Amino acid sequence: MTHKPLHLVVLAAGEGKRMHSGLPKVLQPIAGRPMLAHLLDAALELSPACVHVVVGHGADQVETMLASFARPRGATAATLTTVTQHERLGTGHAVQQAMGEIPESARVMVLPGDMPLVRPETLAEFSTLAAPLAVLSFQAPDPYGYGRILRNPDGRVVGIREQRDASEAEARITEVNSGVLAADADRLADWLGRVDNDNSQGEYYLTDCIALAAGDGAKVEAMCCKDSEETLGANNMRQLAGLEGALQRRRRNELMDAGVRMPDPESVQIRGRVSTGRDVVIEPGAVVEGSVVLGDGVVVGVGCVVREARLAAGTRLEPYCVLDGAETTGACTVGPFARLRPGTVLAAGVRIGNFVETKNAVFGEGAKANHLSYAGDAAIGARANLGAGTITCNYDGANKHRTTIGEDAFIGSNSALVAPVKIGARATVGAGSVVTGEAPPDALTVARARSRSIPGWKRPTKK
């Protein structure tokens, strides 16, 4: 096993023409994140000294993504840097652009930027190979399009032949190149300097280094990946969809192996990092995005979308709720058809019903908003009740204002609370009121026009 500092070179300069997209290929998303982000998650588990990302087409977009890249929890603080391949002259040329930033004493690992399914454990095992040059191979049932691993009669790796340059016999080889390569930096620099572009593409192939190394008598080692799915990339939208399906299966299986019950797993989408307790249920059609924590006994109902949320033990989401940046601190019930926006915090026993929207609102223990209400920039006290149609008028067209509702307050149906406003503890607001001042505690506040009837009134008739 080598103890040299590890430098990673990630190839992310390709356009991906067959995607027919304005996004560079490595930024095409699976499970809600760019392919490149998934690869970096795995690569950073190796604790490299530096990650050199080779950019070209859409370099500004890739650099923007890297600037906002959220490292996995506990990941190394390795430097992420970019180098530009101004002319796309092949993979060998791309790696050469990064070599000037890598010390000769380092070990270099080259990774394709569109390999989002590779596992950290696979890269870690591969990194232990101490041969001067190593490649990660896999067995392909259909090897078309891949570089074939060439071995001599003794089984030693002597080269890689690209599809366009392969002979009929070579084309039948099923052990193929994944695009992952590792080598000692000083020797790799030498081999790259000797690579030519005498091939059908007129490009400088990184894979030509294998034949050069073998010709120099250097040992070339190939590790065959146990799960070929890890090595998959995408050149078009159909292949991208295949990656999405593979990653979703992996994520769902991981959750079910941890005890999560999914009656219809194929319909569930996991697009983030999910932490779960015991006896969690995720019903059909649910989508879980970002960083989500689901406590013991949480039920995510049919068709719910849960994004960047923390749900305490016993929380139940009825069907078709959307939670974004919300938190529950005790067992409570939400929905159906509720929308909880960022800053929403629900205490134990809270009941949020159908067609209720909340934003930056804190509900005390046992508070209720059962239907057709909006609570924004509000603090709702314990056991307070918001009747149907109640809204907090928190925005005056320029600034947001806060509504405070005391414990055990009762807000009658179809009331508008014009912030800034305070409703006292145990206060009652009559239905249909527009409250613009303080409603004192232990009192009834009514703010509406008195009804009157007009005798003899005739309905208009249609002409």
From the list 130, 178, 97, 191, the residue with the least C-alpha distance to 6 is 130
Structure tokens at 44: 């950073």
Q: Is 319 exposed, middle or buried (0-12, 13-18, 19+ CB in 10 A)?
A: middle
Instruction: Please say if 371 is a catalytic residue.
Output: yes
Structure tokens at 383: 């056991």
> ∠186-191-196 over CA atoms, to 5°?
150
Give φ, ψ of 231 to 5 degrees. -90, 0
Cβ–Cβ under 8 Å, residues 440 and 450: no
From the list 362, 311, 361, 308, the residue with the least C-alpha distance to 334 is 311
Out of 52, 93, 371, 401, pick the active-site residue: 371
Pairing of strands 157-161, 175-184: unpaired
Cis peptide before 263 (omega within 30 of 0): no
Instruction: Could you list the beta-strand ranges (E) of 118-185.
Output: 133-139, 148-151, 157-161, 175-184
From the list 298, 145, 131, 279, the residue with the least C-alpha distance to 219 is 131
Helix ranges (H only) for 118-207 are 120-127, 168-171, 185-194
For 320-389, give the DSSP string. T-EEES-EESS--EE-SS-EE-TT-EE-TT-EEEET-EEEEEEE-TT-EEEES-EEEEEEE-TT-EE-TT
Please list the active-site residues: 371
